[in-house]
Structure 1
Amino acid sequence: MNALTSGLLLVDKPAGWTSHQVVGRVRPLLGTRKVGHAGTLDPMATGVLVVGVNRATRLLGHLALHDKDYVATMRLGVSTVTDDAEGQIIDRVDASAVSDADIETAMAAQRGDIEQVPTAVSAIKVDGKRSYARVRAGEQVELKARPVHVDRFDATSVRRLKVDGTGVVDVDCLVTCSSGTYVRALARDVGALLGVGGHLTALRRTRVGPFVLPEHPVDLSDDAPRPTLVAMGVAARLSFPVIDLDEDQEAAVRVGRALEVPVPQDPTALLDPDGDLLALYRPDPDRAGWSRPVCVLV
């Protein structure tokens, strides 16, 4: 399978679609079952979804670890079971008295290295079963806090309004965070710190690592033309440190041998003389100056 049939697609996921539905639509567009995505977006959310095709599916676990940018709106004064607008409302508290300074203080507490409890309605597995499935079955689910990093969590606009008779505050914000961070949980926790509750009403992902919103989004309609893939070598140069190999090194990598070639980090991309991605390697902990495969893609 050559580079022309393997690569990445940058999809601007529409609202209302699951990430899995996007994958299901791409499969017939490209005529292959081997399609996956990096970093799930909730149905309510829109924005960058990195889709891998054929050999590139093996990169997705690594690409999902990149940090991400979001544009979001959180509503203070209303709590939901899902921590977003798709869930059932479980509490309303008048937030009219919450000041801009109060909001900034609560948001500041969510920046940096924090311990975050993921949203209960999430795909995290609890004893082999998805957390969301347990919640929908009526179980009480308490997930453990996990370390995440929030590099940016800034308010860009604050609006005060009445919704169903309750004074609420809508806060537009910009978020830059590590993999594994739930923006829904940021809204929930800001609301909890302020004593009024909160949830997310809008979320758009604008960046995954080096990948930003595409200038020409992939057409997901039924009669869409075949989309053009981002070549794996191009994706690798954007995503990882890269080492270009000679022909002898290429032959060794194709059979998964360790190399007497130092690599700067785990993972590092190794490219053949034509610029195609062969493998991801990491430093060999047992031999200085050597590297060993993380995954071989050919």
Structure 2
Amino acid sequence: MLESPPDGILLVDKPQGISSHRVVSIARRRLGLKKIGHAGTLDPMATGLLILGVGSSTRLLTHLVGLDKTYTATIRLGVSTDSDDADGTPTAAPGIVDADVSDAAVEQAVAAQRGRIDQVPSTVSAIKVDGRRAYDLARKGEEVVLRSRSVTVSRFEVTDRRDRTVSVDGEDVRVVDLDVVVACSSGTYVRALARDVGAALGTGAHLTALRRTEVGPFVVDDAVDLEDDATDVRAALARPVDIARRLFPTVTLDPVAAKDLADGKRVRVEQPDDDGPVAAVASAADRLVGLVSVRRGQLRVITNFPTPTGA
């Protein structure tokens, strides 16, 4: 009997130094499948949780992109870079000698970045300006002006600090490294938070480390290392029905109703109105039939999922 093609959601712990697209390429090779996508990228410098969709489960990714994120990071006060992280070129290194970087001053600068804020993304970012990526424009020396966007930072906390001396272009510079935890809405740039804290303190700043630890209810501790040949990648795939149950309310369908919904027919349920997504689950097969909304007791498909061959 032929093995069914791989399908599901894969939690990956991205290592440092490779792009998110490289992670997708590795997953394609390991699974022997081209249809793999991701629910949001990480910069090459960053590590941590990437969510990949495999096979028909790529249809779930649209509903995962907007989930809140949690990061751990290290902000270096005293040095700015053109990318706001350690992969960039230093643009200023005033250090901290002439600035107030007391715990109270740092807390005031950090507190100003909590809550609902208007944030200007980092210049070296994937945001498009007139159809071109901002980082492409910046690397060609063209002026990049990005509009601010409203984001929510629900947690921004300093967990440790270290005063130290580092070398920047052969010069010794006094800096402060702040270890922080950030919980934020999708679209928030932690690099920009570092930049703006440094600007408030008059020292400049950039990220020296960034790790994504959570995406919605998913945690990096449950993720796999794709570069480890011992990892059974297929076994690590989470079923779309299990992912949907963690994210959305559920309506359970008997076999007839499940088939009718899959066939595009109208299905009536005793369920309150809900704009969705609501996970429509076939009870007998324990399978995700689709993501739906509920209107006047009738299901309306938002995203359908194909019935497995032979089901």
| Common topology (TM > 0.5) | yes
Instruction: Tell me the equivalent position of 1:167.
Output: 174
- Residue by residue over 1:121-157, the C-alpha shift from the partner in whole angstroms, topping out at 9 and shown as x without a partner, is 1111111111111111211111111111100000000
Instruction: Tell me the equivalent position of 2:76.
Output: 75
| Candidates 259, 275, 280, aligned match of 1:270 | 280
Query: Once the 2 structures are TM-superposed, how far is the Cα of residue 258 of structure 1 from its aligned partner?
Result: 5.0
Q: Are 2:114 and 1:115 equivalent residues in the alignment?
A: no
Structure showing greater Rg:
2
| Candidates 188, 199, 216, aligned match of 1:192 | 199
| Candidates 145, 159, 166, aligned match of 1:142 | 145
TM-score, reference length from structure 1 = 0.93
Instruction: Tell me the equivalent position of 1:47.
Output: 48
Q: Tell me which amino acid in the other structure corresponds to 1:269.
A: A
Conserved in 2, the CA contact under 8 Å of 1:83 and 1:199?
Answer: yes
Aligned residue for 1:230, secondary structure, equals coil
Instruction: Tell me the equivalent position of 1:10.
Output: 11
- Residue by residue over 1:59-82, the C-alpha shift from the partner in whole angstroms, topping out at 9 and shown as x without a partner, is 112111111111110011111111
Query: Once the 2 structures are TM-superposed, how far is the Cα of residue 198 of structure 1 from its aligned partner?
Result: 0.9
The whole-number CA distance in structure 2 between the counterparts of 1:124 and 1:150 is 20
The whole-number CA distance in structure 1 between the counterparts of 2:80 and 2:33 is 42
Query: Once the 2 structures are TM-superposed, how far is the Cα of residue 95 of structure 1 from its aligned partner?
Result: 1.5
RMSD: 2.0
- Residue by residue over 1:1-27, the C-alpha shift from the partner in whole angstroms, topping out at 9 and shown as x without a partner, is x98721011111000111100000000
The whole-number CA distance in structure 2 between the counterparts of 1:41 and 1:103 is 27
Give the unaligned 5+ runs of structure 2: 307-311
Q: Percent identity?
A: 49
- Residue by residue over 1:167-202, the C-alpha shift from the partner in whole angstroms, topping out at 9 and shown as x without a partner, is 211100111111111111110111111111111110
- Residue by residue over 1:30-72, the C-alpha shift from the partner in whole angstroms, topping out at 9 and shown as x without a partner, is 1110001112111111111111101111111211111111111
The whole-number CA distance in structure 2 between the counterparts of 1:5 and 1:50 is 15
Aligned length: 295
The whole-number CA distance in structure 1 between the counterparts of 2:223 and 2:145 is 41
Query: Once the 2 structures are TM-superposed, how far is the Cα of residue 219 of structure 1 from its aligned partner?
Result: 3.4
Instruction: Tell me the equivalent position of 2:264.
Output: 256
Instruction: Tell me the equivalent position of 1:243.
Output: 251
TM-score, reference length from structure 2 = 0.89
Q: Tell me which amino acid in the other structure corresponds to 1:85.
A: A
Q: Tell me which amino acid in the other structure corresponds to 1:13.
A: K
Q: Tell me which amino acid in the other structure corresponds to 1:56.
A: S
User: After the TM superposition, which of the residue ranges 148-157 and 230-239 deviates more from structure 2?
Assistant: 230-239
